[in-house]
Amino acid sequence: MIKDYNYYLRIERAMSQNTVASYCSDASKFLKHYGGDIHLASADDIISYLNTLSGLSERTQARVLSSLRSFFDWLTLEGMIKENPCDRVEGPKIGKYIPDVLSEEEVDRIISSVDTQGWLGLRDKAILEVLYGCGLRVSEASDLKVSDIFLKEGFVRVVGKGDKERLVPIGDMALEAVEAYLDARPLASESNTVFINRYGNRLSRMSIFKLVKKQTLAAGIAKDISPHTFRHSFATHLLEKGADLRAVQEMLGHENLKTTEIYTHIETGTWHRNILTHHPRK
């Protein structure tokens, strides 16, 4: 059943590999917990399972419910059940998510902390510059191809969620870092993947996570930073400098403008703190 559901998500819904893996994992865990005839699963069964996740954050619980709703929607579509039991389950109340961001000075400190003596250092710097300078997701950076970089035109072609392509402008500093790395790296003619490890294989998402953690520590920044923080920070800085919201939406590959609007809340929060810091009657 999960195999067929996986096929549906990948082929018919054209979801990304990571999303498919997450949805299928959530569905598999529910089926293992439930253990009964799936045709008889009720809203009470869903609620009972969600109660076992009470130790997790409300946002995680909401994500699991969303996964299960998708799974039962598929069962309904396939005619295995008549209605989706998740439709009668109220999700946890969660506040608007405001992601952490770095200041421009902090971004510079992290990138400047990289030792660029060897080609691996040049690679690490290029990764950080691309994460920030193009606002890429970590999976997009990991999967980036040499043939997707248009140096003269100043664009990179990115394959995002659902295998949807978009063209993203790349800034001068990121371009310089990528060019320096590509000129220095070994095995350049044998791999179309931009960011490779010392063995010539594609650098994994986890390796990029570790790189970000290492350089954040080296820069002396006491924040819980991930590759996605660079994406959040980039979008926030663009809007702070007056970039058009829809242009930022296109660059980030957001389907819904509301997803991009979260950065206007961050910008407002920054403005609010700035005013209060310099307020004559604080």
The residues assigned a catalytic role are 137, 161, 228, 231, 254, 263
Do the beta carbons of residue 182 and residue 144 sit within 8 Å? Answer: no
Decide: 169 and 48 in contact? Cβ < 8 Å: no
The Cα-based distances of 219 to 114, 208, 222 in angstroms read 9, 16, 9
Using the Cα atoms of residue 241, residue 244, residue 250 and residue 256 in order, give the sign of their dihedral: positive
Buried/exposed code over 27-54 (b: 16+ C-beta within 10 A; e: otherwise): bebbbeeeeeebeebeeebbeebbeebe
Q: Which two tokens stand for residue 137?
A: 């997701």
